[in-house]
């Protein structure tokens, strides 16, 4: 399936764990109209990335997203479009705590009739996370779940970035806190189901209205002192407009680590692939070379690879056609736009305008069609040269363009035949 | 001069203000080898952007940067390369407070002989800022300087993003702070010269070694309660690796707001320019159309404009040549790579391979040469069409490519002739 995005073999847990994602925020701080959790990155809303981060963890059985009523249809559509299977959307409340509470209660409910869902156990541990912290990793979730089971509650902390100060009522400095003694409380947090359930049963309307900190409720109403676990910087919350660019950059970097060159088996193409591999490798991207995607090489269809189809002399796009068909069959562009680059080395006999124009038109047409299926097709043309220096410069330029195309994934460049 | 980047006419101050930028940090938190203040954005180190933010404020008379001894040559080179005129580098100390103190003391010194500097007044107010907060604005600096003059000290604050918690020595939650009562202390901060000077005269070795907060020293050693002023989110500090992407995105956005189309006076080119203006305007970028850069239109050379040279039928790059010469004479690419796009509408008579190849080669050569002078030249080719729908699609694509080229400023695409 196109959804497989396996993490390094994770440990397993022998108790059921579910997740609640409160996603009712209004996005005030980004200065954008769309709430942050629904802002799109490479065509997919942020919340889908966060869901994916949990869904790929084998020991997480289900995820409840609590959304504002007006976003329920949008959320349902996201779950369907991106084929999220462990997820259910429930109506959230008017505050963060009310939304979390809705999610926690939903985990008690019998599954609705008529829906073909697995009968799930009541979770032993609930992980609560923010929809706008998409980069949480399995290792850290494991630590939180284990500590929550053992201690009743656990939460992520981070060092303070700024000094925290107390102000007088007139807006003057009263005193500053000693930074080393305090921490920022972040997400995820984990709770034994009975602890978080009781906390919400016992807490006041004022807590529901003005509180933010689940750890505080667990302490106040259940006497549970949460275990605090230092988390990595990737736990950060997409809060301001600038964070959208930061998140996009992390997502793009994750998708740009490796590419697979398909040569079609020709020796000339293999030689060109070798030259490219050397040049792109120097730019810090990993390239594998294979003759075709058949057999064992089908494994390249299962992971986050980008694809480069190389051809020499005959400017034929049939190799690209076949590659596109394989990628589509593997559903590889479901979660991210996929990059395919056609690298063509023109022979010196190939100077007719008709052929040159035909190439431009053919790749533009193929690119426009592929784009509708979330595949971004670009072309790069090299010219044969006896002059070694000229040739090396061309290969280097082709490598730079390749690396840029894979990293940027620009829709505006789809179908272009770039000159190396 | 290429350096003019005037802010909206700011208010003036009737007392001398200078700035100290401690820039001795080691960049641990970004996970990069280069200290953050020296990381490059579009070919220019972050600290140069921060310096620019102060240098363009008319009422700021001088800026002292305190850098680690091993970075002194680098800093001197940056000051020269980017023609910073109000700036002096001094050796910093082994801690943040020692570096700030070096800067404060340097503001008392007589100017060195043999250097042609203005004789400056001892500042009444010193603004202290971080080299890694490049987006501070004149309005806010004005507020800080005024409050510092009146109250002796003033500092930027921001709301807390996360709940702050106190931990037990065993790593459990002790209590959480009520978020509304506390603020994050940020930069800039401002001090009357005598206040910050006395604070550093009186403070202890332990303060120099372990302290971080100048406001605290002013309170403890001069009895000055700083006025706290809520600052905008743009005051944020480039701290983590993800912040590099956020900063780059803000810098690029600032440079991508407007472009100027030069038509050369031809009616056909003006018609194409009109079509582009409409399509690019829909993409949220402002486009002005002018026949040439002479006379009054020379003002376009003074601000942050990007340039689009339009030509019809005759694929002649002489207009682009002249534009490049004007931009170079105006020193416009000193602080940022400048984008120039050649948009060419091919006539239907122009189907000879020699001309098509010649265009590709000519713009690649011109682009390679311009790149050495920090000008990024790209080409876009449209084809005449009687089919209205086809034509409108072409114009839309040209607009999308234009917008993308201006926003991304990709060096790897220099010299390409893209097809619209
Ligand atoms: Mg909480
Ligand atoms: Mg300070």
Report the separation in Å between the CA atom of A216 and the middle of ligand 1, taken as the mean of its atom positions. 8
Task: Kindly state whether residues A25 and A65 are assigned to the same domain.
Answer: yes
Q: What is the pLDDT of residues B101-117, one digit of tens each?
A: 999 999 987 555 445 45
Cβ contact (<8 Å) for A246 and B246? yes
For A173, the closest of B168, B176, B228 (CB atoms) is B228
Task: Kindly state whether residues B222 and B275 are assigned to the same domain.
Answer: no
Report the separation in Å between the CA atom of A213 and the middle of ligand 1, taken as the mean of its atom positions. 3
User: Does residue B2 sit within a domain?
Assistant: no
pLDDT at B75 over 50: yes
Give the ligand with the smallest distance to the CA of A179. 2
Task: Kindly state whether residues B24 and B151 are assigned to the same domain.
Answer: yes
Q: What total number of domains does chain A contain?
A: 2
pLDDT at A208: 95
Q: Chain A residue closest to B177 (CA)?
A: A182
Mean pLDDT of chain B: 90
Give the ligand with the smallest distance to the CA of A207. 1
Task: Kindly state whether residues A187 and A328 are assigned to the same domain.
Answer: no
Which of residues B174, B209, B239 is at a domain's end? B239
Which of residues A186, A212, A239 is at a domain's end? A239
pLDDT at A109: 75
Task: Kindly state whether residues B314 and B229 are assigned to the same domain.
Answer: no
Instruction: Report in angstroms the alpha-carbon separations of B377 from B224, B251, B324.
Output: 55, 19, 9
Report the separation in Å between the CA atom of A108 and the middle of ligand 1, taken as the mean of its atom positions. 20
This model of the complex carries an ipTM of: 0.91
User: Does residue B71 sit within a domain?
Assistant: yes
Contacts of A362 (CB under 8 A, 6+ apart): A317
Task: Kindly state whether residues A74 and A181 are assigned to the same domain.
Answer: yes
Domain that holds residue B76: 17-239
Task: Kindly state whether residues B190 and B302 are assigned to the same domain.
Answer: no
User: Does residue A2 sit within a domain?
Assistant: no
User: Does residue B248 sit within a domain?
Assistant: no
Residues of A in contact with B364 (CB under 8 A): 419
pLDDT at A10: 65
Task: Kindly state whether residues B217 and B267 are assigned to the same domain.
Answer: no
Give the ligand with the smallest distance to the CA of A176. 2
CA–CA gap between residue A131 and residue A127 (Å, rounded): 12
- Average pLDDT in the B285-306 region? 90
pLDDT tens string for chain A (420 positions)?
344 444 445 678 999 999 999 998 655 555 667 899 999 999 999 999 999 999 999 999 999 999 999 999 999 999 999 999 999 999 998 999 999 999 999 998 755 544 545 556 789 999 999 999 999 999 999 999 999 999 999 999 999 989 999 999 999 999 999 888 999 999 999 999 999 999 999 999 999 998 879 999 999 999 999 999 999 999 999 999 999 999 999 999 999 999 999 999 889 999 999 999 999 988 888 999 999 998 899 899 888 899 999 999 776 788 999 999 999 999 999 999 999 999 999 876 555 555 677 888 899 999 999 999 999 999 999 988 889 999 999 999 999 999 999 999 999 999 999 999
Cβ contact (<8 Å) for B248 and A246? no
For A176, the closest of B153, B176, B213 (CB atoms) is B213
What is the SS3 assignment for B152?
A: coil
pLDDT at B4: 44
Residues of B in contact with A232 (CB under 8 A): none
Cβ contact (<8 Å) for B186 and A228? no
pLDDT at B1 over 90: no
Cβ contact (<8 Å) for A172 and B249? no
Q: What is the pLDDT of residues B320-365, one digit of tens each?
A: 999 999 999 999 999 999 999 999 998 765 555 556 778 888 999 9
Cβ contact (<8 Å) for B165 and A185? yes
Task: Kindly state whether residues B101 and B229 are assigned to the same domain.
Answer: yes
Which of residues A183, A206, A239 is at a domain's end? A239
CATH assignment of the domain containing A399: 3.40.50.360
Q: What is the pLDDT of residues B219-252, one digit of tens each?
A: 999 999 999 999 999 999 999 999 999 999 999 9
From B402's Cα to the closest Cα of chain A, the distance in A is 9
* Phi, psi dihedrals of residue B143, rounded to the nearest 5°: -60, -45
Instruction: Report in angstroms the alpha-carbon separations of B15 from B9, B64, B126, B129, B377.
Output: 18, 18, 11, 19, 45
Cβ contact (<8 Å) for B157 and A172? no
Cβ contact (<8 Å) for B419 and A166? no
pLDDT at B2: 41
- Surrounding residues of ion ligand 1, Cβ less than 5 A: A 213-214
User: Does residue A208 sit within a domain?
Assistant: yes
For A183, the closest of B165, B186, B239 (CB atoms) is B165
> B112, B182 in Cβ contact below 8 A?
no
CATH assignment of the domain containing B33: 3.90.550.10
User: Does residue B173 sit within a domain?
Assistant: yes
User: Does residue A250 sit within a domain?
Assistant: no
Cβ contact (<8 Å) for B233 and A29? yes
Cβ contact (<8 Å) for A164 and B179? no
Cβ contact (<8 Å) for B157 and A176? no
pLDDT at B30 over 80: no
From A247's Cα to the closest Cα of chain B, the distance in A is 8
For B240, the closest of A233, A237, A352 (CB atoms) is A233
Residues of B in contact with A159 (CB under 8 A): none
* Phi, psi dihedrals of residue A308, rounded to the nearest 5°: -125, 120
Report the separation in Å between the CA atom of A65 and the middle of ligand 1, taken as the mean of its atom positions. 15
Task: Kindly state whether residues B159 and B184 are assigned to the same domain.
Answer: yes
User: Does residue B8 sit within a domain?
Assistant: no
Identify how many contiguous H helices and E strands chain B contains and give both numbers.
12, 17
pLDDT at A358: 82
Instruction: Report in angstroms the alpha-carbon separations of A69 from A115, A133, A369, B364.
Output: 21, 22, 36, 55
Task: Kindly state whether residues A225 and A361 are assigned to the same domain.
Answer: no
For A173, the closest of B225, B250, B360 (CB atoms) is B225
Task: Kindly state whether residues A234 and A261 are assigned to the same domain.
Answer: no
């Amino acid at each position: 399936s196109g959804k497989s995005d396996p993490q390094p073999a994770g440990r397993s847990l022998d108790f059921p764990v579910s997740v609640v994602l409160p996603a009712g925020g209004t996005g005030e701080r980004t200065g954008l109209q769309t709430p942050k959790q629904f802002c799109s990155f490479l065509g997919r809303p942020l919340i889908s990335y966060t869901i994916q981060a949990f869904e790929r963890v084998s020991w997480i059985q289900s995820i409840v997203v609590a959304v504002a009523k007006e976003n329920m249809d949008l959320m349902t559509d996201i779950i369907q479009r991106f084929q999220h299977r462990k997820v259910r959307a429930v109506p959230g409340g008017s505050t963060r705590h009310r939304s979390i509470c809705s999610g926690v209660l939903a985990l008690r409910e019998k599954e609705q009739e008529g829906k073909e869902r697995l009968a799930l156990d009541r979770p032993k541990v609930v992980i609560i996370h923010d929809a706008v912290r998409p980069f949480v990793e399995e290792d850290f979730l494991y630590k939180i779940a284990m500590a929550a089971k053992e201690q009743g509650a656990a939460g992520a902390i981070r060092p303070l970035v700024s000094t925290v100060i107390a102000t007088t009522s007139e807006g003057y400095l009263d005193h500053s806190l000693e930074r080393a003694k305090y921490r920022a409380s972040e997400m995820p947090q984990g709770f034994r189901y009975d602890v978080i359930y009781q906390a919400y049963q016992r807490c006041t309307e004022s807590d529901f209205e003005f509180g933010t900190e689940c750890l505080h409720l667990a302490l106040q109403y259940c006497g549970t002192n949460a275990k605090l676990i230092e988390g990595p910087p990737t736990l950060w919350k997409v809060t301001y407009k600038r964070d959208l660019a930061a998140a996009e950059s992390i997502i793009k970097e994750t998708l740009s680590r490796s590419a697979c060159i398909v040569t079609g088996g020709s020796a000339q193409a293999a030689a060109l692939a070798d030259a490219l591999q050397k040049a792109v490798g120097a730019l810090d991207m990993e390239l594998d070379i294979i003759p075709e995607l058949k057999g064992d090489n089908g494994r390249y269809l299962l992971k986050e690879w980008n694809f480069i189809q190389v051809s020499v002399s005959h400017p034929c796009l049939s190799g690209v056609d076949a590659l596109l068909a394989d990628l589509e069959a593997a559903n590889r562009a479901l979660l991210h736009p996929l990059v395919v680059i056609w690298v063509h080395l023109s022979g010196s006999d190939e100077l007719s305008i008709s052929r040159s124009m035909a190439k431009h038109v053919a790749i533009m047409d193929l690119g426009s069609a592929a784009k509708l299926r979330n595949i971004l097709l670009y072309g790069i043309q090299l010219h044969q040269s006896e002059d070694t220096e000229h040739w090396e410069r061309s290969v280097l330029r082709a490598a730079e363009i390749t690396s840029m195309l894979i990293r940027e994934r620009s829709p505006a460049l789809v179908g272009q035949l770039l000159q190396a």
